[in-house]
Amino acid sequence: MKRSYLIKPLLDEQLPEIAFGRGIFLYGADGKDYLDGSSGAITCSIGHGIKEITDAMNEQAKKVSFVYRSHFTSKAAEGLADKLAELLPGDLNWSFFVNSGSEAAETAMKMAIQYWQEKGRPSKTAVLSRWRSYHGITMGALSLSGYPERRVRFTDHLASNPDVSAPYCFRCPFQQSYPSCNLMCADDLERSIKRMGEENIAAFIAEPIVGAAGACLTPPPGYYERIRDICDRYDVLFIADEVMTGMGRTGKVLAIEHWDCLPDIVVLGKGLGAGYSPIAAAVASDKVMKPIQEGSRVIMSGHTYSGNPQSAAAALAVLKYMDKHSLAEQAARQGQQLREQLNGMQQSFPFIGEVRGIGLLIGIELLNNHDDMAPFPKQLKAGAKLVELAFRNRLILYPASAGEEGGDGDAVIIAPPLTITSQETADL
């Protein structure tokens, strides 16, 4: 059969066609139902087919779907920016809308570089990042990403190399354990800053909980407080990439709120549009915006569809729905229940190495052998096989990378919509 739709197949045969979605379920054209245990790519946070959202999108489409941001503003984009300023902690008040997490990560990089230019320190251009991280697929965002499998074909074209160790307690890169380690992994940022020279560094970017590149690596208490302190001491901005972790997924609006740490710029995506429309954002604090407002007065970036009313209306309706149904709180409750269930399964399924994460962002690292912590041999692609087996049984999981050497297949992420009920969690 001729196929012109380019897509990475999950299975060897043609992918099933989806007819419609309702709540946490997707329904195939062949009548099969699938439990969306990963919200797609950790995206559909409020579930499928919510009428309030499609009504809001319809209303907007009847008025106008697109205006160019240099010509006009819109109630939808203004309303979304105001809602984010209300929801996000501290003085994260300034939203720049784009279409994907990758674009948002690159916008955040540019904001940070521009901040230092406006402050009269133009040599501060480098953005530090960690091994075991993912910030996006475009060349700039991929440069920041410590995800070997996604970098390897493109290394000649990548502008930077992640240099900071990840907070990976299950396989501590320093062979230490918490708390006697005294957060060596956080201090590794200081080593990296000194190595490159603080005069060259604009920012440090990190996912508060490492998603695809580490299957929900969750730093210990005190980690981000230490990161904040190091950033402040060396005049380095801190960018929290909350594309996967943000918008209620971990039980708080931002995952970074689980630590006493306020980022200078936040990167949002995925759950912001919750799958209803592509939208992402780089949100800057008053501190970052002040010199820009007093200087060139423009963020030197943007895309044709930036801030389009159609996506903004969808995202605004999503945020209102989350508020109305207290979905962050629900994520905290259901996440706790699901983690307890999964921990209880460890006896019967010894390949479950560690269950980690916060709220409804749960990673499972697979182990071949608990005694020596050996992962399954890479060529077995154990994680991918588990995802495929679940898919054949109509449960959708998300493959992730873990283990010392990295490599897709040693971990999976479970992240159902935040709307999942206690009964549905029990049935999962």
Q: What is the 3-state secondary structure (H, E, C) of 1-13?
A: CCCCCCCCCCCCC
CB of 336 to ligand PLP, least distance (A): 23
The span from the CA of 102 to the CA of 92, in Å, is 20
Tokens linked to 325: 């149904």
Q: Which is nearer to ligand PLP, 106 or 188 (CB)?
A: 106
CB of 47 to ligand PLP, least distance (A): 19
Q: Which is nearer to ligand PLP, 130 or 190 (CB)?
A: 130
Q: How far lies 3's CA from each of 6, 7, 9, 14, in Å?
A: 8, 10, 12, 10
Q: Which is nearer to ligand PLP, 105 or 396 (CB)?
A: 105
Q: Which residues have C-beta within 8 Å of that of residue 259, sequence separation ≥ 6?
A: 208, 219, 221, 222, 223, 224, 225
Q: Which is nearer to ligand PLP, 367 or 387 (CB)?
A: 387
**Best CA proximity match to 391, nearest among 20, 28, 3:** 28
**Best CA proximity match to 147, nearest among 408, 333, 422, 327:** 408
Give the three-class secondary structure for 110: helix
- Asked whether the bond before 263 is cis by omega within 30 degrees of 0, the reply is no
The dihedral through the CA atoms of 44, 45, 49, 53 has a sign that is negative
CB of 101 to ligand PLP, least distance (A): 2
Residue 293: what residue type? Q
The span from the CA of 94 to the CA of 291, in Å, is 13
* Inter-residue contact 265 to 202 (CB < 8 Å): no
Residue nearest to ligand PLP (CB): 101
CB of 281 to ligand PLP, least distance (A): 11
| Cα distance from N-terminal residue to C-terminal residue, the chain | 36
For residue 362, the Cα-to-chain-centroid distance in whole angstroms is 13
**Best CA proximity match to 386, nearest among 365, 405, 404:** 365
CB of 318 to ligand PLP, least distance (A): 15
Q: Which is nearer to ligand PLP, 137 or 428 (CB)?
A: 137
CB of 43 to ligand PLP, least distance (A): 8
- DSSP E strand stretches across 333-391: 352-358, 361-366
Q: Which is nearer to ligand PLP, 85 or 137 (CB)?
A: 137
Q: Which is nearer to ligand PLP, 292 or 318 (CB)?
A: 318
CB of 24 to ligand PLP, least distance (A): 20
CB of 270 to ligand PLP, least distance (A): 6
Note the residues at the interface with ligand PLP (CB under 6 A): 100-102, 105, 134-137, 207, 211-212, 241, 243-244, 269
Q: Which is nearer to ligand PLP, 84 or 367 (CB)?
A: 84
Q: Which is nearer to ligand PLP, 144 or 332 (CB)?
A: 144
CB of 325 to ligand PLP, least distance (A): 24
Give the pairing of strands 237-241 and 265-268: parallel
